[in-house]
Homo-oligomer: A and B are copies of this chain.
Amino acid sequence: MSDESTRVESLLKECAAVGLRRTTALEACLRVFASAEQPMTLQQIAAAPVFGVSCDPATIYRLVSRLEERRIVRRIGFHSRAAHYCLRESSHQDYLICRDCGSVEVLDIACPVEHLEKQIAEESGFSDIEHELEFFGRCATCQS
């Protein structure tokens, strides 16, 4: 609650610092992200109850794009047609996705590849390396 509000407040400061205006939509959007358990699609964000009925998809699209450019949110691929987004602030996460029902679980493991990034950067000449690791399988429910 208050915990989440504090979080949103600090995110808003971060946004202000990178030149974003404090609009209703931004605030609502951050609130959605802060309370989300999992990465969300633009549609899911737009449909969240924080926005009265719902919000214009184009607005959400541009808003989230701005947040992604400023590196406040991270984009995740999964295998669905729609992209998913989550806050960058939380530490890096890896995911386990059911290829039948599409459910997403956040994996609670020490990410095993972070140390590889430096090595790969050196060998390839790439800079600013990040990674994305996903496991796909069939969840218990879908196996029956």
> Contacts A109-B116, A124-B96, A126-B98 given: A133-B136 contact, CB under 8 Å?
no
Does A120 belong to the interface (CB within 8 Å)? yes
A49 at the interface (CB under 8 A from B): no
Q: Is A77 an interface residue (CB 8 A)?
A: yes
Q: Are B116 and A113 in contact (CB under 8 A)?
A: no
Interface residue range, chain A: 20 to 34
- CB–CB A140/B125 < 8 A: yes
Question: Is the CB of A134 closer than 8 A to any CB of chain B?
Answer: yes
7 interchain residue pairs of minimum CB distance: A126-B137, A125-B140, A77-B77, A129-B137, A131-B135, A133-B133, A127-B138
